[in-house]
């Protein structure tokens, strides 16, 4: 049998060798994450960046890494894998091997980058996600209800309860959420400015440290921007120009406003809980002739970009094991909005993973 020379995009079933390679690639998927985690712990991406854009040799990189002893042969193997992942550009000249950063690694994998997603990687690796994913089968076959996340299956507390008691886990989660919504905030302001035009008051429900609200406040300084959060979040929230923080519970009552904004919040909850929240929103909206703005991933049945599709589906699996929520399709969102009597809605894709959903009565 001839050896396979290219397996990218190969579908299992063409021949036995391609089937073998395809399945072995699926089984090896976790190695990508572990090598990436290794590179972040060693700050490989930051070390290359500090060389000012010029190629870095293997000895130079080894000298820049933490630790008294760096085994260059093993470092070379890690760099070879990162190059295959297209996170590093590798080359060779008369002086030996050299490396530069790809745009993706420079933007999102450096600890020192303003766009860094390193906090998200750390949450996944150090926040118990691996253990929860190993219990994914219990989410499928468990007898405690379809919305019971794996985090609660071994008779444990909810993730939010654990994060409120474990300060390190809570900070890890907050840092990861801040890192993720930073890009989303820019995409919302730049991609859908008309949504906020004419509004006098907006409440960012579950807005965390106010990253999204601050971006909107900068773009629309005449609008009053309020973040509704739990008391312990409000107590430690950083001061942000144009943003007010108010303690409250979105399941009990919502402040009066022209618009209620939910950014990556409703996916944490079951359909029943989301419907509860939307009905509370309806009471506010009906009094103010306002609207609800939802920023969430929308899963498509026909996604052209397979990498984007995989990221969305992987996020849905993480929601299954960590929370009681899920990432929803457009039809699932339409169904929830209609049940809450929001019959006017539109979906706008953002230059991010999410869509912006604008809904009114």
Angstrom distance (rounded) from CA 296 to CA 264: 5
Q: Looking at residues 248-271, what average pLDDT do you find?
A: 95
Q: Give every CB contact of residue 75 below 8 A, 6+ residues apart in sequence.
A: 58, 61, 62, 65
Last-in-domain residue among 109, 124, 147: 109
Q: What is the mean pLDDT of residues 179-204?
A: 94
- Bridge partners of 228, per DSSP, are 205, 246
- Looking at the structure, do residues 210 and 94 belong to the same domain, yes or no? no
Q: Which of 340, 321, 333 is nearest to 282 (CA)?
A: 340
Task: Cite the active site residues.
Answer: 267
3-class DSSP state for residue 97? strand
Domain end point (choices 74, 91, 109): 109
**CATH code where residue 253 lies:** 3.40.50.150
Q: Please identify, among 52, 84, 109, the residue that sits at the C-terminal boundary of a domain.
A: 109
Q: Is 357 exposed, middle or buried (0-12, 13-18, 19+ CB in 10 A)?
A: buried
8 Å CB contact between 225 and 243: yes
- 204 and 346 housed in the same domain: yes
Half-sphere exposure of 238 (CA within 13 A, CB side): 10
Q: Are 219 and 193 in contact (CB under 8 A)?
A: yes
Residue 91 shares a structural domain with residue 231: no
Strand extents, DSSP E, the chain: 56-57, 88-93, 96-101, 201-205, 224-229, 243-247, 259-263, 291-299, 328-329, 344-349, 354-360
- Residue positions counted in the chain: 361
Distance CA 147, CA 324 (A): 5
Q: Are residues 243 and 325 in the same domain?
A: yes
Residue 201 sits in the same domain as residue 349: yes
Domain with residue 96: its CATH number is: 1.10.10.10
Any domain includes 264: yes
Mean pLDDT of 344-349: 95
**Token pair listed for 109:** 């994998």
Domain tally, the chain: 2
**pLDDT confidence bin for 150, thresholds 50/70/90:** low
In a domain, 12, yes or no: no
- pTM, entire model: 0.88
CB atoms within 10 A of CB 323: 20
pLDDT given at position 4? 47
Distances (CA, A) of 322 to 40, 63, 128, 139, 247: 24, 39, 9, 10, 25
In percent, the amount of the chain with pLDDT more than 70 equals 91
Residue 56 lies in a domain: yes
* Separation in Å, CA 69 to CA 55, 74, 78, 220, 300: 22, 12, 16, 53, 48
Does the structure show a pLDDT above 80 at 357?
yes
Q: For residue 192, is it within any domain?
A: yes
What does the pLDDT read at residue 7? 52
| Predicted pLDDT at 144 | 56
Same domain, 232 and 346: yes
Domain extent for 37: 30-109
Together in a domain, 102 and 222? no
Sign of CA dihedral 192, 195, 201, 203: negative
For residue 158, being part of any structural domain is answered with no
Say whether both 208 and 332 belong to one domain.
yes
DSSP 351: S
- Average pLDDT of the segment spanning 82-109: 93
* Residue 59 belongs to a domain: yes
In this prediction, residue 145 carries a pLDDT of 56
92 and 187, same structural domain? no
Residue 88, strand partner residues: 101
**Same domain flag for 87 and 200:** no
Tell me the pLDDT tens digit for each residue of 116-141: 999 999 999 998 888 888 888 888 88
Residue 105 in any domain: the answer is yes
Cα 195–284–255 angle (5° rounding)? Answer: 90
What are 221's two structure tokens? Answer: 């300084």
Cβ 72 vs Cβ 58: under 8 Å: yes
Q: Where residue 92 falls among pLDDT bands split at 50, 70, 90?
A: confident
Instruction: Tell me if 218 is assigned to some domain.
Output: yes
Identify whether residues 208 and 93 lie together within a single domain: no
Residues 235 and 328 in one domain: yes
């Amino acid at each position: 049998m001839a050896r396979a020379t290219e397996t990218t995009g190969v579908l299992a079933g063409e021949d036995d060798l391609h089937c073998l390679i395809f399945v072995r690639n699926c089984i090896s998927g976790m190695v990508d994450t572990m090598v990436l985690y290794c590179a972040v712990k060693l700050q490989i991406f930051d070390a290359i960046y500090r060389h000012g854009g010029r190629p870095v040799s293997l000895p130079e990189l080894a000298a820049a890494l933490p630790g008294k002893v760096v085994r260059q042969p093993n470092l070379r193997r890690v760099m070879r894998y990162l190059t295959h992942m297209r996170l590093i550009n590798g080359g060779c000249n008369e002086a030996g091997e050299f490396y530069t950063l790809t745009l993706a690694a420079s933007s999102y994998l450096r600890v020192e980058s303003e766009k860094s997603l390193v906090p998200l990687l750390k949450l996944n690796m150090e926040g118990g996600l691996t253990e929860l994913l190993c219990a994914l089968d219990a989410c499928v076959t468990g007898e405690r209800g379809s919305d019971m996340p794996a985090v609660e299956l071994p008779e444990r507390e909810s993730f939010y309860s654990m994060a409120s008691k474990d300060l390190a886990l809570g900070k890890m989660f907050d840092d990861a959420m801040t890192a993720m919504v930073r890009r989303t905030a820019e995409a919302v302001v730049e991609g859908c400015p008309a949504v906020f035009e004419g509004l006098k008051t907006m409440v960012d429900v579950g807005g965390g440290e106010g990253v999204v609200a601050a971006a909107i406040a900068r773009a629309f300084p005449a609008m009053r921007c309020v973040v509704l959060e739990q008391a312990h979040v409000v107590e430690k929230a950083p001061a942000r120009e144009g943003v007010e923080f108010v303690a409250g519970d979105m399941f009990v009552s919502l402040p009066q406003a022209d618009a209620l904004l939910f950014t990556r919040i409703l996916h944490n909850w079951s359909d029943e809980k989301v419907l509860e929240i939307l009905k509370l929103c309806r009471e506010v909206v009906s009094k103010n002739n306002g609207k609800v703005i939802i920023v969430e991933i929308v899963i498509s049945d026909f996604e052209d970009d397979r990498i984007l599709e995989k990221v969305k589906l992987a996020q849905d699996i993480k929601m299954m094991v960590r929370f009681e929520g899920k990432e929803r399709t457009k039809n699932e969102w339409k169904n929830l909005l209609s049940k809450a009597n929001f019959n006017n809605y539109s979906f706008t894709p953002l230059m991010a993973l999410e869509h912006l959903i604008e809904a009114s009565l």
